């Protein structure tokens, strides 16, 4: 389906509209990409990628553009809409992403990788590249995943509980520095009052979620839905009975996991085991 167009002739798809406004404002100002880069202090290729829709850029870049063009808050508002647009995710995630944004609280269990909301840019890039994403598609997917971290930020962020299999913390990145940054970020994030981190040790034995990532969302209407995922597919589960069965399995796993205090110490030990870069 082609992009919807309003009476202005501009796209109503957030990401495309953001890129269109950037091109229009620069054309009206009469700047070249090179001139824009020289004035604002970023490489001109970044602005070219933003105008072509290859990347959204950072909030800092967008705020600088707002100031440069004399459009206080306009571009930043469009950037926020584009960054939060669920259509940037693959089709099977779209309804889930909409519900995730509405959730009053979230519970997660991870088998082998960190949940997207806790991933650093380097970790997300490595995981998505391993899954086959590359080029512009990889850039878009990384940006979309990093954008999800905003859900857990701020005073009104919902409570989030994650149980991580020890395998998650034993599956390090090949880039030691990026892995260190990820573990440091995890330790820092675990200090937030709205986030509870558990680690499930290897010696906890078999359990019902041994091969299944799951996220539970408690919604404003009182329902709880679940999203399960393995290496090949994801499934949004909204029927009451299967969700309740998954919740009982999750509760059993939580009973086996380390306490939040012991879990944080576990991550700290993992961080200490990361080899230091000899150049630092």
Any idea what DSSP says for residue 259?
A: P
- Among 192, 190, 135, smallest CA distance to 164 is for 190
Q: How far apart are the first and last CA of the chain?
A: 52
Q: Report pLDDT digits (tens) over 160-207.
A: 999 999 999 999 999 999 999 999 999 999 999 999 999 999 999 999
Where do the H-state alpha helices sit in 42-109?
44-52, 59-69, 74-83, 94-102
Nearest to 183 by CA among 169, 197, 193: 169
Report the predicted TM-score, pTM, of the whole model to 2 decimal places.
Answer: 0.70
pLDDT at 5: 46
Question: Per-residue pLDDT tens for 71-89?
Answer: 999 999 999 888 777 666 5
Structural contact between residues 167 and 266, judged by C-beta atoms closer than 8 angstroms: no
209 phi and psi angles, rounded to 5 deg = -110, 25
pLDDT for res 90: 63
The Cα–Cα gap between 66 and 177 comes to 34
Tell how strand 234-237 and strand 224-229 pair up: antiparallel
Helices (H), ranges, 72-212:
74-83, 94-102, 121-130, 135-147, 166-170, 176-189
Q: How confident is the model at residue 129 (pLDDT cuts 50, 70, 90)?
A: very high
In angstroms, rounded to a whole number, what is the distance separating the alpha carbons of residues 95 and 102?
11
Query: pLDDT confidence of 278, banded at 50, 70, 90?
Result: low
């Amino acid at each position: 389906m082609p992009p919807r167009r309003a009476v202005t002739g501009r796209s109503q798809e957030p990401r495309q509209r953001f890129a269109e406004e950037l091109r229009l404002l620069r054309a009206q100002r009469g700047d070249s990409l090179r001139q824009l880069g020289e004035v604002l202090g970023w490489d001109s290729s970044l602005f070219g990628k933003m105008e072509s829709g290859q990347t959204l850029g950072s909030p800092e870049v967008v705020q600088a553009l707002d100031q440069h063009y004399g459009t206080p808050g306009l571009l930043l508002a469009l950037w926020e809409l584009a960054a939060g647009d669920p259509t940037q995710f693959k089709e099977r995630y779209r309804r889930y992403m909409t519900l995730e944004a509405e959730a009053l609280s979230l519970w997660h269990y991870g088998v082998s990788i960190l949940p997207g909301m806790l991933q650093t840019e380097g970790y997300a890039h490595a995981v998505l590249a391993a899954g086959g994403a590359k080029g512009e598609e990889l850039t878009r997917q990384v940006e979309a995943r990093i954008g999800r971290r905003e859900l857990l930020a701020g005073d009104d962020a919902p409570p989030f509980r994650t149980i991580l299999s020890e395998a998650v913390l034993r599956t390090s990145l090949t880039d030691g520095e990026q892995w260190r940054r990820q573990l440091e970020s995890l330790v820092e994030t675990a200090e937030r009052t709205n986030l509870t981190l558990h680690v499930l040790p290897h010696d906890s034995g078999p359990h019902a979620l041994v091969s299944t990532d799951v996220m539970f969302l408690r919604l404003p209407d009182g329902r709880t839905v679940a999203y399960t995922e393995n290496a090949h597919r994801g499934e949004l589960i909204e029927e009451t009975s299967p969700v309740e069965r998954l919740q009982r399995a999750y509760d059993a796993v939580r009973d086996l996991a380390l306490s939040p205090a012991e879990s944080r110490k576990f991550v700290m030990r993992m961080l200490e085991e990361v080899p230091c870069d000899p150049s630092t």
